[in-house]
Amino acid sequence: MKYKYEELLKRARSQIPETALKRERLELPRLAHSVVGMRTIIHNFKEIADTLNRDPQHLLKFLTREMATAATLQDSRAIFQGKFSRETFQRLLQRYMERFVICPVCKRPDTKIVKEKRLSFLVCQACGAKSPVQQL
């Protein structure tokens, strides 16, 4: 029997589950960061918060607590008191994603934070899991 390549390829692809073909991955935009005097500015802070699908105030509160400093939001940028490196922000953003964005069950970033009474939960829109998260 002689098979054509296209027919074999179609047959093989039809047997692969759809989830294996999806290429969903959370990719943060490059951090636009500058140090001016004793202040560190993240110019694309709002864009990063939008990519994570989180409130910029929530992300800012996490970063200020982790770095033990003060910060303010101005338009789409965040201004932190003190000199901080890009690596510090990237490490903290990774920690934030692990705690408040990535689903602990299915490891997907399709989540939202829902507050019920005094507790906050991370609700996954991909698998439906509901996990408690710490208060900020």
Residue 66: what residue type? E
- Provide the residue ranges of all domains of the chain, joining segments of one domain with +: 31-101, 103-136
CATH number of 31-101: 3.30.70.3150
Q: Distance between CA 112 and CA 98 in Å, rounded?
A: 13
- Which tens digits make up the pLDDT trace of 6-30? 888 888 888 776 554 444 567 788 8
Q: Distance between CA 14 and CA 99 in Å, rounded?
A: 37
Tell me, what's the pLDDT at 17?
63
Look up residue 37 and give its two tokens.
Answer: 């005097």
Q: How many other C-beta atoms lie within 10 A of the C-beta of residue 103?
A: 20
Residue (of 71, 59, 69, 68) closest to 113 by Cα position = 59
pLDDT beneath 50: ranges in the chain: 20-23
